Structure 1
Amino acid sequence: MADGGQQVGQVEVMETEKQAEKKKKRNVLIAIDGSKHAENAFKWYADNIHKTTDDVILGFCSELGTHLPPTAAQVSPATLHALIEKHNGKAKEIFSTFDSLATKHNVQHKLERLRDPPGSSIVNYAHEHNVQLIVVGSRGHGTIRRTILGSVSDYVVHHTHVPVIICKHHDEHHKLK
């Protein structure tokens, strides 16, 4: 009887440890687009807040749909196919760059391709995959340009219910001031 009671106690301790470990884990989504701003955001995350228990998702924000001209339906299928292949090649290049960067910083990760426009894609992915933290880079657009073009980081901040870290990049012209 004593052995049976001891086994039950061990099982309960193991379950409690698993629950505690699960609580330590957090899903972190880092938005990447191949820019120096995205690289800076990743490096900041890796250098400042990364935990080995994090499940890191590097989400490539594809803007193919937003870059197709309105006349895309009128171009030949071969031309459209070539455009898509070029975009896919660029995506593979970006994945390779960030895969190497993550390996260099000892960050276990997975790469995901997000298909919607970037802002809504990031927010939707975070909601669907129980993300606890989103990290994005900021291009530092001025007020007028941000108003006209919109800002992915602004969209994410205003449409998600999880913490967002926006990493600003120190451009060369800022260093001159």
Structure 2
Amino acid sequence: MSEATPRAKNTVVIAMDGSEHSFYAFEWYMDFLNKPGDHLLVVHSPDNKSHLRTPVMSIDGSAVFRMVEKSEEEVNKIVIQIKDKLTKSGISARLMRLTGDAGHAIVKAADENKANLIITGSRGLGAVRRTLVGSVSNYVLHHAHCPVLVCQRKLHGHKSS
């Protein structure tokens, strides 16, 4: 590309679920990839598979309502944390709250917004849990139609070889 040709703006999707791993991925983007003019889309999709860990066997509608209400409160707290992180970073970004299966929703949002890159954190699930409930980052990695960067956070005290 010549100097006279302006660089095309990138559309970057960062998947954030409120975990320290997703905040690490955001920080990594800010430190190493963020460029003026990039369009940043931060997507949040609650973990809809959490019901596998807490089976609901109740006829009491108020108990189900309280569970849904509690879940909604937790999601709202995460969204506030994400908004705070964006405000402190000083960059302009669009925040989308997604519904449905997280992996599928992230890929769909990236497609619909013509993303050039998806960035996600990795929780480092063990093999059994990954098999039972799946891995969002693994799904995105294998189904996205653009490059995917999975940020693996180094654990404290972990010695690299």
TM-score, normalised on structure 1? 0.77
Cα deviation digits, residues 41-70 of structure 1 (max 9, x gap)? 00000111012212211111212x423355
- Identify which of 37, 49, 54 aligns with 1:53: 37
- Structure with the bigger percentage of helix: 1
Q: 1:143, 1:71 → 2: CA distance?
A: 25
RMSD: 2.4
- Identify which of 105, 113, 118 aligns with 2:102: 118
Q: 1:81, 1:129 → 2: CA distance?
A: 34
- Percent identity, please: 34
Q: CA distance change for structure 1 residues 77 and 25 in 2, over 3 Å: closer, same or farther?
A: farther
User: Which secondary structure does the structure 2 equivalent of 1:83 belong to?
Assistant: helix
- Superposed displacement of residue 103, structure 1: 1.9
Q: CA distance change for structure 1 residues 40 and 75 in 2, over 3 Å: closer, same or farther?
A: farther
Counterpart amino acid of residue 91 in structure 1: V
Counterpart in 2 of 1:135? 119
Q: 2:63, 2:154 → 1: CA distance?
A: 38
TM-score, normalised on structure 2? 0.84
- Spell out the pairing of 1:9-20 with structure 2 (5 A cutoff): none
Q: 1:53, 1:76 → 2: CA distance?
A: 52
Aligned length: 156
Counterpart in 1 of 2:86? 102
Q: 1:168, 1:161 → 2: CA distance?
A: 21
Unaligned runs of 5+ in 2: none
- Superposed displacement of residue 121, structure 1: 1.1
Q: Confirm or deny that 1:67 pairs with 2:50.
A: yes
User: Which secondary structure does the structure 1 equivalent of 2:158 belong to?
Assistant: helix
- Identify which of 117, 131, 136 aligns with 1:152: 136
Counterpart in 2 of 1:24? 8
- Superposed displacement of residue 159, structure 1: 0.6
Counterpart amino acid of residue 69 in structure 2: E
Q: 1:148, 1:66 → 2: CA distance?
A: 10
> Which has the higher Rg, Structure 1 or Structure 2?
1
Q: 1:75, 1:174 → 2: CA distance?
A: 47
- Superposed displacement of residue 175, structure 1: 5.4
- Superposed displacement of residue 128, structure 1: 1.9
Unaligned runs of 5+ in 1: 1-19
